[in-house]
Structure 1
Amino acid sequence: MNGPWPLWPSVIALAVAVIVIVFAGSRLARTADELADRTGLGEAVAGAVFLGAVTSLPGIVTTATGALEGDAAFALANPVGGIALQTVWLAIADLLYRRANLEHAAASLENLLQSIVLIALLALPVVAFATPQLQVGWVHPVTILIPVFYLYGLRLVRRMHDAPMWKPIRTNETREDNPAEEGTGSLARLWITFAALGLVVGTTGWIIGRAGLGVIAATGWPSGITGFTVTTAITSLPELIVLIAAIRMGALTLGVANIIGGNVFDVLTLSVADAFYLNGTIYSAAGATSLVLLGGTLLITAVLAAGLLLRDRRGVGFEGVSIPVIYAATIVLAL
């Protein structure tokens, strides 16, 4: 592998990545919203699957880059930090949507189920941290189980979308997922646009990964904290940009599903981290700090699920206050 980038080229590269992501993210929201209507999948499923996958690409490439460089703490902290920070974005978005609490207005059983699936998926790495001696080749068995559980979770979400057994109570503040008028362009062209935007967003991930490792090498900052905060803040920007754009379009369910679906998809990145870390299982090398970050992220996700279930009517409910506090406390504990 090449040596780490110097500090200032790394900082400039991170700034350029931010600009690229901001421009691509807003276009992604519009394209995904139209795909949700044209394919009949609905905003919750389209946000979880289409947007969740594409907006997670920078984090996946950043994580793979860190794992190949042999930095286990950085590689694990980046996806875990992405999940935590992207949930904080929802709390910030509550401030932008003044009419009601965002989780109340974007009532969706699919989003609630996705949150529960996310908690289950995050429990698997906890088991891996407790059993680092288990290996299949150079990876932990959990690395294989995570994609299996993820696909089964998607199957459950699709089943709930097609035949829901429960329904949230509709209020004056609830925004319905009503398909927009038929678009003018072809569906094939829409898919091509979405794929091209995904390629642009994904390419920035490699730049962010290399630049993040450069910052670590130049400053001596702890790898885990840098991955949980600095690089995560940039790789998570697509989710924030898409969320804000979706709110402005009135596609609230799409915006919330993008965050939660992206978080669920980010757990797959833990499998990527272990697969690309070639010095044994990544869980045996990451250290106790990674477990602290994982525990805080689990708690943040549980608070989000409770917020989706209780649906506080206020603009900023208990989850909007608790999630940023837990995120900050997790960073302090990990230092």
Structure 2
Amino acid sequence: MEGTWPLLPSAVALALAVGAIVVAGSKLAHVADELADRTGMGEALAGALFLGGVTSLPGIVASATGALEGDAGFALANPVGGVAIQSVWLAIADLVYRRANLEHAAASLENILQALVLLALLSLPVIAYATPELTWGWVHPVTVLIPVLYGYGLVLVRRMRAEPMWEPEATSDTVVDEPDEPSERSLPHLWASLSALAIVVGVTGWVIAKAGLGVAAGTGWSSSVTGFTLTTAISSLPELVTLLAAVRIGALTLGVANIIGGNVFDTLLIAVSDAFYTRGSIYADAGPESLVLLGGTLLITAILAAGLLVRDRRGVGFEGVALPAVYVATAAIAVMVV
């Protein structure tokens, strides 16, 4: 592909991107946790908006870059793969939080609702895959529905927080979302810190996209599989770093909301990819492996939602085993389909 980076510079760029993301991501959890308390939004909603939005920036840039480069499979695999791998991060965090199962301790109605909204959002591209000829210009009508449903989902989450109709049972392992003592940093300073970190994280997204396309071209790997595994694993590192940081400071609901809220936000990247891919229907050009990746990610999301509802008290519940297993199986099947 014209303009693709060579293999060795691509590998070096990916390594540098990892370092930048780890440094920025480790600071995001502290800033978002304090903003959640100072604004009164609560950890679940703040995690979805502040952390979910900022940590998704690498994926946004990577998806848009892939679409502009004309690689439909890579452009779609990035947001779908982001949802999948970020769900696996929760299984890793379960190993770090030894006291109880993380989904049990971070009981939150908002997170459960967001998981259900995510299932609804991921179902829309399935319709688009089946009807690629239904386009307005080059954009499928389903693409327009994705941000609409996302916005309505946020309205429902805010309504649920204001007027909950039922609540999860509190146990000795449940960690309640309570405001911490505010630091000496002013609110404008916190917003400025969040913005600066967002810029750093966003720039790395472009590097990851260019380097990922270079790796795919240099190795002969499928760009869809590369996008689903390698580049999303790197671009989703902010979610992992901030999740572990949130667990370490005891902001469990914030950490889980960062993952689930980030996953919901990542579905907007599908709309971004379709909008920036001007060569026709992105769903028609992505190939059958992209549909396999989407189906596996739907299953992963359903398992995560079940884990939030069942609230297994063991350190690693059924979802902690099933999430990485389904992720690996999905990638393996996609490789066989290519």
Q: TM-score range by the shorter chain?
A: over 0.9
User: Distance in 2 between the 1:73 and 1:105 partners?
Assistant: 38
The residue aligned with 1:289 is 289
User: Distance in 1 between the 2:328 and 2:230 partners?
Assistant: 14
Letter in 2 for 1:296: G
Task: Report the alpha carbon displacement of residue 2 of structure 1 after superposing the two structures with TM.
Answer: 5.6
Q: How does 1:70-109 map to 2 (within 5 A)?
A: 70-109=70-109
The residue aligned with 2:171 is 171
What is the CA deviation profile of residues 235-258 of structure 1, one whole-angstrom value per residue up to 9, with x for unaligned ones?
000000000000000000000000
Q: How does 1:194-205 map to 2 (within 5 A)?
A: 194-205=194-205
Task: Report the alpha carbon displacement of residue 183 of structure 1 after superposing the two structures with TM.
Answer: 2.1
Task: Report the alpha carbon displacement of residue 186 of structure 1 after superposing the two structures with TM.
Answer: 1.1
The residue aligned with 1:151 is 151
SS of match in other structure, 1:99: coil
Task: Report the alpha carbon displacement of residue 182 of structure 1 after superposing the two structures with TM.
Answer: 2.1
User: Distance in 1 between the 2:2 and 2:31 partners?
Assistant: 37
SS of match in other structure, 1:100: coil
User: Distance in 1 between the 2:87 and 2:98 partners?
Assistant: 18
Task: Report the alpha carbon displacement of residue 110 of structure 1 after superposing the two structures with TM.
Answer: 0.2
User: Distance in 2 between the 1:290 and 1:219 partners?
Assistant: 19
User: Distance in 1 between the 2:258 and 2:138 partners?
Assistant: 33
User: Distance in 2 between the 1:330 and 1:6 partners?
Assistant: 28
User: Distance in 1 between the 2:27 and 2:334 partners?
Assistant: 36
User: Distance in 2 between the 1:250 and 1:183 partners?
Assistant: 16
Q: How does 1:40-119 map to 2 (within 5 A)?
A: 40-119=40-119
User: Distance in 1 between the 2:264 and 2:323 partners?
Assistant: 17
Letter in 2 for 1:325: A
The residue aligned with 2:247 is 247
Letter in 2 for 1:106: A
User: Distance in 1 between the 2:200 and 2:139 partners?
Assistant: 30
Identity of aligned residues (%): 70
The residue aligned with 2:6 is 6
Q: How does 1:314-325 map to 2 (within 5 A)?
A: 314-325=314-325
1:238 aligns with 2:218: no
Letter in 2 for 1:112: I
What is the CA deviation profile of residues 283-317 of structure 1, one whole-angstrom value per residue up to 9, with x for unaligned ones?
01001100000000000000000000010000000
The residue aligned with 2:35 is 35
Kindly tell me the number of residue pairs found equivalent between the two proteins: 335
What is the CA deviation profile of residues 124-182 of structure 1, one whole-angstrom value per residue up to 9, with x for unaligned ones?
00000000010011110011110000000000000001111010000000001010112
The residue aligned with 2:133 is 133
The residue aligned with 1:270 is 270
User: Distance in 1 between the 2:185 and 2:52 partners?
Assistant: 24
SS of match in other structure, 2:267: helix
Letter in 1 for 2:248: R
User: Distance in 1 between the 2:281 and 2:55 partners?
Assistant: 27
User: Distance in 2 between the 1:184 and 1:162 partners?
Assistant: 29
What is the CA deviation profile of residues 185-219 of structure 1, one whole-angstrom value per residue up to 9, with x for unaligned ones?
11011101101100110010000000111111111
User: Distance in 2 between the 1:5 and 1:265 partners?
Assistant: 29
What is the CA deviation profile of residues 33-89 of structure 1, one whole-angstrom value per residue up to 9, with x for unaligned ones?
000000000000000111100000000100100000000001100110010000000
**Unaligned runs of at least 5 residues, structure 2:** none
Q: How does 1:210-249 map to 2 (within 5 A)?
A: 210-249=210-249
User: Distance in 1 between the 2:96 and 2:193 partners?
Assistant: 28
User: Distance in 1 between the 2:192 and 2:98 partners?
Assistant: 35
SS of match in other structure, 1:117: helix
The residue aligned with 2:309 is 309
The residue aligned with 1:327 is 327
SS of match in other structure, 2:197: helix
Letter in 2 for 1:282: I
The residue aligned with 2:260 is 260
SS of match in other structure, 1:229: helix
The residue aligned with 1:189 is 189
Over aligned residue pairs, what C-alpha RMSD do you find? 0.8
